[in-house]
A and B are shown apart, each in its own frame.
Chain A
Amino acid sequence: MLTISAFVVIKNRTDSEYLTTEIYSMNTVIQINISGKDKKDATDAVTQEINFLNQKFDDFSPQSDVSKINDNAGKNAVEVDNVTIEIISKALECYKETDGAFNISVAPLSKLWGFKGNEHKVPLESEIKQTINLVNINDLIIEGNKVMLRKTGEAIDLGGIAKGYTLDKIKEILPKYNLKSAIINMGGNILTYGISNKGNWLIGIKNPREDGVVGKITIKGSKFISTSGDYEKYFIENGKRYCHIINPSTGLPSDKIVSVTVVSDKGYLGDAFSTAFFVLGKEKSLELANKSGVEIIGFDKNLNPFFTDGIKNEVNIEKGG
């Protein structure tokens, strides 16, 4: 009995240790931590799914569905995978729910500001005015599995929704395996799955202006956590900070707040809404978050935090404010 008990305890202990894997895909680093009996098989399945979706959505790869749609703008409708149709439909849903603050057709503006490569520049006002004419979500036509952009020069970018959507797909895969828990961090977008070895999950929010974290959120069970901020991709010119999240209606980089974190039950929604909230600023974000049933923690320009009521007691702010 003793031997068997000892074996079972040690086996369970080994199973509950996380298998940590780091992969590079979706133009970012992805950390996969899975515990439980089938952790190896589950990690393989997750990696495969990420690579598959990356092949479809990566606008840096000429073979991706997104590149094909963009390259054929104003010319042809192109046939794409079901997942591409699905993610575009979800992006359109988020566009409607955020009154256009989340808009995948903003890509020509991101390119104009140099955020598609590394040659950042402040464009002329006339250039912005001209390029804004190429940002029109209604020019994205979907028929069956075919997608077309109406005008040459128009383009879509799934960067603000692809990671969250991929985490949704991963959450569908994990229950097929005998697992204890998992935590997957895809370039800052996190999926927590099951109960952590310590009980609740403790998630750090990166400090927007210094190294380290600005606060910690306690997460119970399975959730999605996404953040948008002005500190990951930006440039400074004449003392002014220009970040990569462009307001689709003004054509200018958003600068109302410095960071916003969304906790939600849907990955795609949390990812897209964090971008939209960053564009909308404090008041409109709180209003929309309450309406949509997601929780948010944001930081204004003075690093003062703001929260939705549902998460107030789960957040521990370390600095700022």
Chain B
Amino acid sequence: MRSTLKKGDKIIVSLLVLFVAFFIFERYVFSKSKADSVIIRSDGTIVKDIPLKDNGEYLIKSKEGELTCIIQSQEVKVIESTCPDKLCTKQGWISKQGESIICLPNRISITITGGNNVVDSTTY
């Protein structure tokens, strides 16, 4: 059977299909929720971005000093630090999205990011 669409109509329909496909693709690629990861900043700059599932021990250096953190069973903890107050080592484990350990004297921050249900920021 002959198509009732003229050549011009076909072009328009094809373009529309492509257009819709592009938007679906674009939404999928850009809006996909990211997996949980541990972002470590030293002196304000990201020095490590580690998947939360990657167990291991990490040494982080800054201009002010250094600390060692471990990732184990989707949790993060600072085990050693050169800072005087040791508040970072006393904080214990963090495991939830949006949680941070901040070592002010060393200017190092460790934050768990990812997912869509996380708070935008935390007041304290």
Q: Which residues of A contact B (CB under 8 A)?
A: 1-2, 5-6, 9-10, 13, 21-24, 27-29, 31, 33, 118, 183, 185, 187-190, 192, 196, 198, 201-206, 211-213, 216, 225-227, 229, 231-232, 261
Contact = CB atoms under 8 A, between A and B. Distances in A.
A216 to B, nearest CB: 6
Interface of B: 15, 18-19, 22-23, 26, 30, 41, 43-44, 84-85, 91-94, 96, 98-99, 102, 104, 107, 109, 116, 119-124
A202 B26 CA distance: 26
A198 B117 CA distance: 10
A119 to B, nearest CB: 12
Contact of A227 (B92, B98, B109, B123): B123
Nearest to A231: B124
Given A9-B23, A118-B85, A23 B119 contact: no
9 contacts: A2-B18, A2-B22, A22-B44, A28-B104, A203-B123, A205-B122, A216-B119, A227-B124, A231-B124
A146 B23 CA distance: 61
A225 B41 CA distance: 25
B123 A226 contact: yes
Nearest to B39: A20
Contacts of A29: 102, 104, 107, 109
Contact of B19 (A5, A183, A227): A5
B18 A204 contact: no
The A contact surface, by secondary structure, is: strand
Closest CB pairs A-B (n = 4): A188-B124, A204-B119, A206-B124, A204-B122
B22 A232 contact: no
A5 B116 CA distance: 27
Contacts of A31: 121
A5 B96 CA distance: 38
Chain B CB count within 10 A is highest, among A22, A28, A33, for A22
A54 B109 CA distance: 21
Contacts of B93: 211
Contacts of A1: 15
Nearest to A217: B123
Given A21-B44, A24-B43, A261-B123, 4 more contacts: A29-B102, A185-B122, A216-B119, A232-B124
Given A28-B104, A211-B91, A23 B122 contact: no
A206 B109 CA distance: 17
Nearest to A31: B121
